[in-house]
Amino acid sequence: MNDSDVHTSKMSSDINSLFDIGLERELTIYPSSSNTASQLGIGCDRRLVFAQTRGTESQKPSVNLQKIYDYGNLIGDYVQTRLRKDGFTVLENQRAFRDRSLNLSAKIDCMIKHERLGNRAVLCEIKSFSPFEFDKYNRAEDFLQSNKHYYRSYYTQLQTYLYLLSLERQEFEEWGLLLLFNKNTASLKGIVFKRDDQHIEESVLKRCEQINYYVKNNLLPEAEYCESACPECPFNHICDVGNVCNADELKESDTFLVDEFDLVEAIKRKEELKESYKQYMEADDFIKWTMKMYKEDKGKSHFLLGSYDVRIKTISHKKYKVPDEIKKQYEVVSSYDKILIKKLENDEMKKRTNKEVNTEVTKKEPSDEDIAIIQKELDKKKKLIDDILSYREYFYTELSESEIISELIMKDDEELKTILLGAKYSFGKREKEDVKE
């Protein structure tokens, strides 16, 4: 690197260090004392109760999350400008609505009017959307059935708006529009949400009454753990279920200091791969969904794309629909261990362990004891290979190594099984692989 490169690289790093300072200063929380349309679609009652009773303890959004909110607001303004250019009249921008009897409030994005839509002002909610998800959502039901909790909540949000608008106008508001903005292509798509009275009854009116009851009687409802929603919940630090997401709340007596280089390296690598894994999943989702659409559209299950051969295999499986009252009789609570990893700084580590700990774990030279264990393992593997070779010679077999190992396991020889296990051949894994073949 020459002097000019060094200077340029320092300038870039100086400029980059200036970003986000303003945003960080502005991060704030907005405690709410009512049920809100944008929150009613959240699955967990406890979170909604916390929002009203302990709103001031809410955690501030992260800088990255705040950037996404701000970007969403900018897109909202941009879409309204485009709508005006397209001949729409945009009204009641950010207008607030309220139903005091339910302690329910909402703020709509806007109402829009167009002569081709009968010149009646129609509810309009604008959402910026991932390009990978954009094509998958075309009907209101797609949101209701979405496997992503935040997209499901849009359905309740729109229905809440329709309910509040109907109340205000004193006549049924039959439909509203969700406008999706593709963050990649800047294209727009309007999806009609018809008024769904059953959903309004169950998920808006009854839910508000339920939350109001908890708040009024100072009750804390059951927590509903959700792997994707809890880590994002601003109250996970005060929730006994959600705080598994927050390692700070763990007791010191539950902690054990592990000094294992390979494990630390694996965690670092996992962190490095996180973003590309997310991109992998998004691309995977997009490919699967698009190919299924092709299958539906063209009635074929075999496709050629560029240099790729894509086949769609239909796999059928049986399902049993058991009535709820019978299901209840066999209900059991099961639990599983979730592994949560958070990077600690040096001083945090010191606070937890009461001593100076080097967070950079280095690879240790193996001790004589370690070398003896490794040697023993190698001896076992050597014996295993000898067994395989003699078996192959004895039976003049052309079997592959894995087939011979399966044969050896079938011999039910305890000593051999111990060697195989010691050599890290898992019986369970091998059996599964065999079934697959």
Interface contacts to ligand SF4, rule CB under 6 A: 44, 46-47, 50, 223-225, 229-230, 233, 235-236, 239, 241-242
DSSP string covering 306-329: TTEEEE------------HHHHHH
d(CA 105, CA 151): 20
The answer to whether the CB of 6 falls within 8 A of the CB of 12 is no
Minimum distance of ligand SF4 from residue 336's CB (angstroms): 16
Nearer to ligand SF4, 108 or 245 (CB): 245
Nearer to ligand SF4, 47 or 127 (CB): 47
Nearer to ligand SF4, 20 or 57 (CB): 57
**Nearest residue relative to ligand SF4 (C-beta):** 242
Minimum distance of ligand SF4 from residue 245's CB (angstroms): 7
Minimum distance of ligand SF4 from residue 186's CB (angstroms): 33
Minimum distance of ligand SF4 from residue 244's CB (angstroms): 9
Minimum distance of ligand SF4 from residue 158's CB (angstroms): 22
What phi, psi does 124 have (nearest 5°)? -140, 120
Minimum distance of ligand SF4 from residue 205's CB (angstroms): 22
Nearer to ligand SF4, 122 or 233 (CB): 233
Amino acid identity of residue 250, one-letter, is: L
d(CA 39, CA 157): 8
Give rounded-to-5 percent helix, strand, coil for the chain: 55, 10, 35
Nearer to ligand SF4, 147 or 400 (CB): 147
Count CA atoms within 13 Å of residue 276 on its CB side: 5
d(CA 200, CA 189): 25
Nearer to ligand SF4, 211 or 223 (CB): 223
d(CA 62, CA 396): 66
Amino acid identity of residue 399, one-letter, is: L
Nearer to ligand SF4, 41 or 242 (CB): 242
DSSP string covering 25-38: HH------SSEETT
Minimum distance of ligand SF4 from residue 2's CB (angstroms): 53
